[in-house]
Structure 1
Amino acid sequence: MIKKYFSFDFQVIGKVQGVFFRKFTKEQGTNLGLVGWVENQKDGSVKGVAQGDQKKCEEMIHWLSNVGSPKSKIEKMIKTNEREIDKLQYKDFSVRDDKKQK
């Protein structure tokens, strides 16, 4: 039987830049065994993709919606592009550099 993975895109809105949100998101994703990425956006939000076991993705969704980094203040988390995939598209969970966006 082919293992199915779960994938979703996310955008977190609130006080999520300048509070180590990306660092903690990477740590949380890695600790859950997920792969994907996270990056700052020009509008002050943080966006990314997470992939892996569905139950672990559900834990990540809860973390992105309700926990975040210690100094963050999450107003809302928008989840899009939820889907089952046959193969993971990333090798680990990474922080994407936002310098190219400036």
Structure 2
Amino acid sequence: MGIPDIRQLVTLDFEVYGHVQGLNLTKDTRDRCTKAGITGWVKNSKAGTIVGKMQGPKEEVEKMVTWLSSEGSPGCQIDRCELRNQGNLSRLDYKDFAIRF
């Protein structure tokens, strides 16, 4: 087997634009991230977007970004997902994934 592969941890901030509030996107994002081992937070913004921070295994975070960019919850009309402050981590800053208000 050899040396176990240490999964690369990444961090990023995201903002999802479009018709995205009131359609369970924050809840679905939390549920999907929790299941994927991603920590951080998500919330509705006053600007009508959904904003948050994800930290976790690179592969899982990339899958979530794809979902947030193109699919989202049923009924969502996503225009785009902007990413900011992307980087690598040695350890996670959050214990779980939460919805903030």
TM-score (ref. length: structure 2):
0.90
Query: Is 2:19–2:77's contact at 8 Å kept on the other side of the alignment?
Result: yes
Equivalent residue number for residue 43 of structure 2: 39
Q: Does 1:92 align with 2:101?
A: no
Let me know the Cα RMSD of the aligned residues: 1.4
User: What do the CA deviations read for 1:1-26 (whole angstroms, capped 9, x no partner)?
Assistant: 97641001000000111111100110
Deviation at residue 46 of structure 1 after TM alignment: 0.5
Runs of 4+ in 1 over 3 A off after TM superposition: 1-4
CA contact (8 A) 1:14 1:75 kept: yes
What is the aligned partner in structure 1 of residue 20 from structure 2?
A: 16
How many Å apart are 1:86 and its aligned residue? Answer: 1.0
Equivalent residue number for residue 76 of structure 1: 80
1:60 maps to a residue whose letter is: M
Q: Which residue of 2 aligns with 1:26?
A: 30
Q: For residues 30 and 86 of structure 1, what CA distance do their matches in structure 2 show?
A: 19
SS at match of 2:63: helix
The structure with more radius of gyration:
2
**Unmatched segments (≥5 aa) in structure 2:** none
The secondary structure found in structure 2 opposite 1:78 is strand
Aligned positions, number = 97
| Cα distance per residue 1:62-97 (max 9 Å; x no partner) | 011011111111000001111001110111011001
Partner of 1:100: none
Alignment gaps of 5+ in structure 1: 98-102
